[in-house]
Structure 1
Amino acid sequence: MGPPRRAARGSEPPLIVSSCAHLTRFPFLAATSEHEVVSTPGHARLVPNPWRERGYGGPPRGPTRPISFHRTMPGYAPTPVVAMPGLARTGQVAGIAVKNEQDRLGLPSFKLLGSSWALHERVKAAAGLSPDALIAFPDLSRMARGLGPPTLCTASDGNHGRAVAALAEALGCGCVVVLPADSAASRIDSIKGHGAIVELVDGSYDDAVAAARAAAHARGHWYCPDTVGAEAADEERTFASDVMAGYGTLFEEFFDQIFRPPDLLFVQAGVGGLSAAAASSLRRISATARVVVVEPEGSNAIALSFASGAPVSVPDTPTVMACLRCQSASFVAWPILLAGIDAAMVVTDEEAAAAVRELARRGVIAGASGAAGLAGALVASADGMLRARLGITADSQVAVVNTEGATDPASYAAILAG
């Protein structure tokens, strides 16, 4: 995909509102570009994407659907969708549906969908099989062992690393996961619990990614990234793209379960893989539904990238939404985000924590990262300006994803007590 095209002046009503009267609370959005941003007296900000392609139908699909493979995995079943009629009434919308990923294939997040499909494709390529071949999971285990078996290596802020570790354990492979040194002890222990070696690096998530890539190359491991930079080799880009394709199973299930495309989908983002998968899946069935990326305050690389029209990085900023604490969008996710996402929204730790508590009252366990999409939906539906800019009405059907359970029990307990 070439450089982003600027929206034609006067071609449609502008999505961007503004007065920036309240931007002192968010200096990182105050001077992003010539584009204005939607600001509110509260703690949320909306950065519309002026380069959204109205005719975009998602990237080309491969010859084999990831869900066909996932159905061969032991314990596979679609995760539930939970209706939230009380929250819908509060938000003055017709409905809020939550896709609940607190338990997916025995893990407390959706991440195994991506890593398993990407490894399926990697093993298939290593074995010289046809691109349209489908390997059932029991056969994948046998084939992986026949290849060495390889040692898998990745970086993580928690959930992707645990998914790769669990996959390696199931396939009989070794595994090395590189994490920032300030990662929660519970996340480190959960990864070690699958037999993986955990290596800690001082610095940010981006530093962990660089360290994992270097370690994999130096040691001859299979590098299994869920994000890549522009410098990545083709094999690395392919793996990260396949991770995103694997996430598509979540949305294929979701849209079948709710019987119709939602009017709005709020989906949280770290490096943008899940939100790119959301855009890819939804754009194949609806050109008019709006997809809004939700990011933590400070870890708002996608919002700033929309404002500038090109990928930008942000400093490492602590947040209770630890799994969204990322400094840049994935190189392979960015073109999809640019073409398929309508806007990026920033939420605070306090708003995410409030959404955690709302879900808990309704029997859904969610960490702060898992509740971020709902936080965006609740803040947007409660604000007149944001409702107008996103086209939220009393007839709107809103969809969100709870991407994780209580992956950091101490943090979860503190939020519930707050």
Structure 2
Amino acid sequence: MGEPSTWYSRPAAKRWRTTAPGSGLDFHRSLPGHVPTPLVELPSLATELRVGRVLLKDESSRLGLPAFKILGASWAVCRALCLRSGEDPAGMTLSRLAALVRAGSGSTPQSVLVTATDGNHGRAIARMARLLGVEARIHVPAGLGIAALEGIRGEGARLVEEEAVYDDVVARAAASVEGSESDVLIQDTAWEGYTQVPQWIVDGYTTLFREIDDALEARGTGPDLLACPVGVGSLAQSLVEHYRSRPGPGQGPVLLGVEPDSAACLTRSLQAGAPVTVDTSAPTLMAGLNCGTVSSLGWPLFRAGMDAAVGVTEADCRRAVRDLEALGQDAGPCGASALAGTRNALAETSRRRELGITEDSVVVLVNTEGRAANPLV
């Protein structure tokens, strides 16, 4: 497998605590097709990794989409449209929200949902627009895969293809809504002056981790290590907020962030002790993780509460996709990176000891997407 070129660890992070995040679970339950996604046990990987159990949280079919993003997108759209209409989001359902949008509010023009995306977030926003009967405008960077583009178009959204890297596309999408009375920006990264919507997205992802806890509790155990893919960091922020806010004595589980070697903005930032922007012009199989700057909203939590972060190579990722496929699991490159990163993190005895991982440990891999979201090429 080879030595990973990108590695960070700080075991003291598991002792840090923060306040509990918000939750969009009640709203999620009103969405068509809502059910908890599977948590699948993979004994052969437990044997390989020399741990007690390995379980895969399978987000390859979340609410009819091939990725987890709809959890954050739907809750942020709900909160943003409720705020725009002066409505209380407590107890809001999809049908009530759609009726609210159709009714309008006097002189206020009908909303247009706008975002920048490297794939799954944009499709989730487009799906919410379709469910609510409003328009969506999705800005995408150069080099986004055909499957991702077709998925967004298939939701009926207007696609704006930019000849730019992801970070620049985010800036262009934000600039495009300035002065508009109809455009509502639903972006999953934060910057100065834009933190409310990204936090709602993070809160929406809490549903995923609550499902993991419920499934493990039913099996009489809890997680010792959770491996989570990282792009700009919204899902990873939700991971940290959820597991570093749980009550009770003792230390929390090890939280491992996984990134492409070529776009390891979180790992490099943790190593430097301050946010670092990395060049993401090189393509990667893990297109949804090809982000150059970690979310400013998440950064303080990562610095305080993330135990470890690791970069993975294209070869490591490709192997993980194939190995999971052989085990009957539908994992695209971003989702499979959780396995690739865990392999790298646990490859050395010194790292295992540092993280407190033993032959009895329970490892959870967050498979954020299926192959339909980002086919392996």
Please confirm whether the aligned pair reaches a TM-score higher than 0.5, indicating the same fold.
Answer: yes
Corresponding residue for residue 17 of structure 2: 56
Aligned partner of 1:136 among 93, 100, 113: 93
Deviations 1:80-112 (A, max 9, x none): 011010110111100001100000000000000
SS in 2 for 1:82: strand
Indicate yes or no: 2:302 matched with 1:337. yes
Indicate yes or no: 2:234 matched with 1:273. yes
| C-alpha separation in 1, matches of 2:13 and 2:354 | 15
Map of 1:324-403 to 2, 5 A cutoff?
324-403=289-368
| C-alpha separation in 2, matches of 1:100 and 1:44 | 28
CA deviation after TM superposition for structure 1 residue 130, in Å: 3.9
Corresponding residue for residue 115 of structure 1: 73
SS in 2 for 1:52: helix
Contact 1:261 1:282 in 2 (8 A): no
Moved over 3 A (4+): 49-53, 59-62
Unaligned runs of 5+ in 1: 1-39
| C-alpha separation in 2, matches of 1:346 and 1:401 | 16
| C-alpha separation in 1, matches of 2:333 and 2:144 | 15
Aligned partner of 1:222 among 173, 184, 191: 184
Corresponding residue for residue 123 of structure 2: 162
Contact 1:51 1:338 in 2 (8 A): no
| C-alpha separation in 1, matches of 2:110 and 2:344 | 48
- Scaled by the length of structure 1, the TM-score of the pair is 0.83
Contact 1:311 1:334 in 2 (8 A): yes
CA deviation after TM superposition for structure 1 residue 280, in Å: 1.2
Contact 2:21 2:241 in 1 (8 A): no
Corresponding residue for residue 314 of structure 1: 278
- Cα 1:188–1:69 shift into 2, 3 Å: same
Give 1:143's aligned amino acid. Answer: L
- Scaled by the length of structure 2, the TM-score of the pair is 0.92
| C-alpha separation in 1, matches of 2:203 and 2:45 | 31
- The count of aligned residue pairs is 365
Aligned partner of 1:293 among 235, 244, 257: 257
Give 2:36's aligned amino acid. Answer: P
| C-alpha separation in 2, matches of 1:66 and 1:41 | 41
Contact 2:243 2:252 in 1 (8 A): no
Give 1:91's aligned amino acid. Answer: L
Corresponding residue for residue 124 of structure 1: 82
Map of 1:213-252 to 2, 5 A cutoff?
213-220=174-181, 221-230=183-192, 233=193, 236-252=194-210
CA deviation after TM superposition for structure 1 residue 408, in Å: 5.3
SS in 2 for 1:298: helix
Deviations 1:181-201 (A, max 9, x none): 211122111101111011111
CA deviation after TM superposition for structure 1 residue 180, in Å: 0.7
Give 1:225's aligned amino acid. Answer: Q
Contact 2:123 2:151 in 1 (8 A): yes
| C-alpha separation in 1, matches of 2:59 and 2:98 | 25
SS in 1 for 2:40: strand
- Cα 1:86–1:331 shift into 2, 3 Å: same
Considering only aligned residues, what root-mean-square deviation do their CA atoms show, in Å?
1.8
Unaligned runs of 5+ in 2: none
Identity of aligned residues (%): 36
Q: Which has the higher contact order (CA 8 A, sep 6+)?
A: 2
Corresponding residue for residue 187 of structure 1: 148
| C-alpha separation in 2, matches of 1:79 and 1:145 | 31
| C-alpha separation in 1, matches of 2:360 and 2:301 | 28
